[in-house]
Amino acid sequence: MNTFSIAIHGGAGTLVKGMMTADLEAQYKSVLKAALDTGYAILENGGTSIDAVEKAVIILEDSHLFNAGKGAVFTADETHEMDASIMDGQSLNAGAVSLISGIKNPVSLAKDVMEKSEHVFLAGEGAMQFAKMNAYKIEDVSYFYDEFRHNQWLEIKDTDSFQLDHATKKDSKFGTVGAVACDQNGNIAAATSTGGMTNKKFGRVGDSPMIGAGNYANNKTCAISCTGSGEFFIRGVVAYDVACLIEHKEMSLEEAANEVIHKRILEIGGDGGLIAVDAKGNIAMPFNTEGMYRGSKSSNGAEEVLIYK
Ligand code: ASP
């Protein structure tokens, strides 16, 4: 049997160490662990990597602690616009949605785009139409209200600034979420979900729903989910760049992931991190920020849930 494994992240923009209380740290870690265990149980029972990443991300989307689903940040119009994507490394099938609102679990909608449509990427009104056609319930805006997020927005709402994931601000509380997994058959998958950036406008879309930028999976190389300054991750085509270094430069998963996060993305001014898995169940989770909410669990016995370096 193939070594099976899963890794998850809750964003590379963690609270700075001084702001983190023991209680808050315990809350973050408990949700991360629940997501990890949910995904791992699916793999352990012989389930697919696609199901494992979707179900792990759902747990993170259902928590107000992370910037996805329930905890999605506010846009300049005081609304929520969410993005998500998912990719199957065996078939190279992929699904993505962008600029959606009222959907409790954007990752599931992305999966439905992959499985129930002829398309890869649906955005805005059309994506919402597709959701309604597939009997998605539209949640009331109150479901997505979080006082902390609202305060973050109030602080910058009348300015031109939008808040990056890795802001040096002391009270930064961000966190795109994602999962990558390798199942017992050696098939890998990746999923990413986000509310984007506080006070974003003009239909801004980051890297998270873009196949190749914030999310990618191919059994031949790796499955990747990114978190970071989206504009730079798009320009760096980060997720696919890791795959290319493995395929064309014959780097290991770890080498390729480190090269991109500690060198290539820094060179163009980006910050953040990623989680990666390959078809042998190896895992890498590099980041160039102070911390990254993350966890991994493998059938070889290794397990960790961490926030800082
Ligand atoms: N990459 C995301 C975006 O730019 C933000 C994040 O990673 O938290 O939308």
Confidence of residue 87 (pLDDT cuts 50, 70, 90): very high
Domains held by the chain: number: 1
Task: Quick: pLDDT tens for 266-288.
Answer: 999 999 999 999 999 999 999 99
- Amino acid, res. 32: L
Q: Out of 13-27, 36-50, 53-67, 209-223, which region has the weakest mean confidence (pLDDT)?
A: 13-27
Strands 215-217 and 223-228: antiparallel
Q: What pLDDT is recorded for position 1?
A: 84
Task: Quick: pLDDT tens for 5-35.
Answer: 999 999 997 777 778 899 999 999 999 999 9
The question of whether 176 is a catalytic residue gets the answer yes
Q: What pLDDT is recorded for position 175?
A: 83
Ligand 1 atom showing the smallest separation from residue 174 Cα: 8
Give me ligand 1 centre to Cα 12, in Å. Answer: 9
Q: Is the pLDDT of residue 166 over 50?
A: no
Question: Model-level pTM greater than 0.85?
Answer: yes
Average pLDDT over residues 212-222: 98
Q: Is the pLDDT of residue 238 over 50?
A: yes
Domain of residue 94 covers: 5-308
215 forms beta bridges with: 211, 225
Pocket of ligand 1, candidates 15, 200, 201, 229: which has the most ligand atoms within 8 Å of its Cβ, to mutate?
Answer: 229
Ordered alpha helix ranges (H), 196-284: 230-235, 238-249, 253-259, 265-267
Tokens read off for 57: 């991300």
Number of CB atoms found within 10 A of residue 79's CB? 12
Question: Out of 14, 75, 176, 289, which one is annotated catalytic?
Answer: 176
Q: What pLDDT is recorded for position 152?
A: 83
Q: What pLDDT is recorded for position 118?
A: 97
Residue nearest to atom 4 of ligand 1 (CA): 230
Does residue 303 contact residue 32 with C-beta atoms inside 8 Å? no
CATH assignment at residue 159: 3.60.20.30
Ligand 1 atom showing the smallest separation from residue 176 Cα: 8
Q: What pLDDT is recorded for position 159?
A: 77
Tokens read off for 250: 């014959």
What is d(CA 272, CA 265) in angstroms, rounded to the nearest whole number? Answer: 9
Give me ligand 1 centre to Cα 184, in Å. Answer: 30
User: CB within 6 Å of ligand 1 — which residues?
Assistant: 11, 13, 67, 165, 174-176, 194, 196-197, 206-208, 214, 227-228, 230, 233, 272
Give me ligand 1 centre to Cα 181, in Å. Answer: 20
Q: Is the pLDDT of residue 115 over 80?
A: yes
What is d(CA 274, CA 177) in angstroms, rounded to the nearest whole number? Answer: 10
Beta strands in 202-302 (DSSP E): 215-217, 223-228, 272-277, 283-284, 291-298
Residue nearest to atom 8 of ligand 1 (CA): 176
Strands 215-217 and 188-194: unpaired
What is d(CA 57, CA 125) in angstroms, rounded to the nearest whole number? Answer: 23
Q: What pLDDT is recorded for position 163?
A: 62
Confidence of residue 156 (pLDDT cuts 50, 70, 90): confident
Could you tell me which of 8, 10, 58, 12 has the C-alpha nearest to residue 36?
8
93 alpha-carbon distance from chain centroid = 18
Q: How many residues does the chain have?
A: 309
Ligand 1 atom showing the smallest separation from residue 13 Cα: 8
Q: 6: alpha, beta or left, given left = phi > 0 and alpha = psi -120 to 50?
A: beta
Pocket of ligand 1, candidates 169, 227, 289: which has the most ligand atoms within 8 Å of its Cβ, to mutate?
Answer: 227
